[in-house]
Structure 1
Amino acid sequence: MSSLHADRVVRRVGGRTVVDGVTLALRPGETIGLLGPNGSGKSTLLRLLAGVLAPAAGVVTLDGRPLVEVGRRATARRVATVEQHADTQTELTVRDVVALGRIPHRRAWSPPTAADTAAVTEALARTGLTGRAGQSWHTLSGGERQRAQIARALAQEPLELLLDEPTNHLDIQHQLDLLELVASLPVTTVIALHDLNLAAMYCDRLLVLSEGRAVAEGTPAEVLTPGFIEQVYGVRAEVTHDVGHPVIRFLRPAAPDGSPPNRSVTSDAPTGH
């Protein structure tokens, strides 16, 4: 059962409020899409949920206890994160990278246990990386590196998984492959995304941030309306429905003389599974 809950959390950086009174309760097994323009506070909210950052006001709780009381190590046994970018100068194999997910479960300098080995093996298998286990991390493609980071997170055996724009810099096929993988995982997921069509296809619920504040929450069909997209993103769009989810088609700005545009554009994602 997921019981990670942010209650009216606030985070300030350099005198500027970057997250302003946001509340989010995770429901077991759901995939929540975190949307909003650049600088809206998505990454900061994910770090608050993970306990990496502490709120200036409000509280994040896990099983009813504030994360500061739960402690970083215990939180990491339950909540796993996948950042936008991951790199290392150290020469590591894919298995080495995935094994990093077992650190919260081990004492310092202790050798891996049978449970550690089993968790790493299962994470590699679930992400389709068993055949790459002995390969150098530096030889992986961008999509494979993202899968390895998800495998590392799964090795933590979390109940909650937080992903910060994991599809950035991936081509369309790898975006879809990655989100199909995430949607199949037996965890509760919060995923920050830019592509509204991907969010509509793969998320059960959306939370939209603008200037640090939550401005909408609901199903993709409830949230992704033409008026709301224009309000938050400043662009015009047409919204239709296909296979049970909204499909967004963005409209070009009107010509300087006020005449209507003659073409529309969609986001990079296809409109169906």
Structure 2
Amino acid sequence: MDIYSLFSVKDKAFVVTGGGTGIGRMMAEGLVSAGARVYITSRNEQVLKEASQSLTAQGPGKCDYIVCDITDPEQVQQLAHKLTELEPNGLHALINNSGKMHKSNYEDHSDDEFLSTLQLNMFTPFLVSKTFLPLLKRVATKECPARIINIASIAGTRVPAITYPAYMSSKAGLIHLTKDMAQKFAQYNITVNSISPGMFESELLRNIMNEGTYTNLPDIIPLRRLGATRDIATTVIFLTSDAGSYITGADVVVDGGALNRP
């Protein structure tokens, strides 16, 4: 048994939505470091360009970017067409990472904000996954399935202390959608799993908390630290390597024990 080959993603093609910042960039960084070809996408070309150049310079893999609003079905079709040109042999893995979080109590939570959060966090993984099926099927085999990973959250399993009605609802729905996709896509030799991160070092987390609260977050995590790039990157590498080829329909929690705290 060649352990190094089992955990290798070298030369495999990946797409990471929302891959220019936050956890998306962390995952892209890990995959590029492991020798993969990674395509990141979002609406912000400036952010994507900087991330792409930085990660490619780091190597040994490569990171390219494609600007796309994944809430727009027409743009998602165009994205799939572009990727078909770039990767005619198909796509090994799709990572549905794009998402948003809005902190608000129920009385002040606007209808539009609720619906837009559901659209980005739960509808777009459905939309992008079904649109990319032909690309994933091209490389999928029984011995080496193609992969879909949906980035959920521990807020989709446990009601958080801070009120995020749309966010926690969308992530709970995404976890359940993942399990159904896993059953339906198994016939195509495609595995589907979700990852539920806990609290990671990110601007998103900083933006919804005051500095004092953010600084004290490690105190409520059993392992006493925030998640870092290596924590999410290695989880993705495992699930998309041959070592993770028999796992499907799972929700992998990466949270330092936060979900199980009293």
TM-score interval for Structure 1 and Structure 2 normalised by the shorter chain: 0.3 to 0.5
Q: Bigger relative contact order, structure 1 or 2, given CA contacts below 8 A and separation 6+?
A: 1
TM-score normalised according to structure 2 size: 0.33
Find the structure with the greater CA-based Rg.
Answer: 1
Give the strand-richer structure, 1 or 2. 1
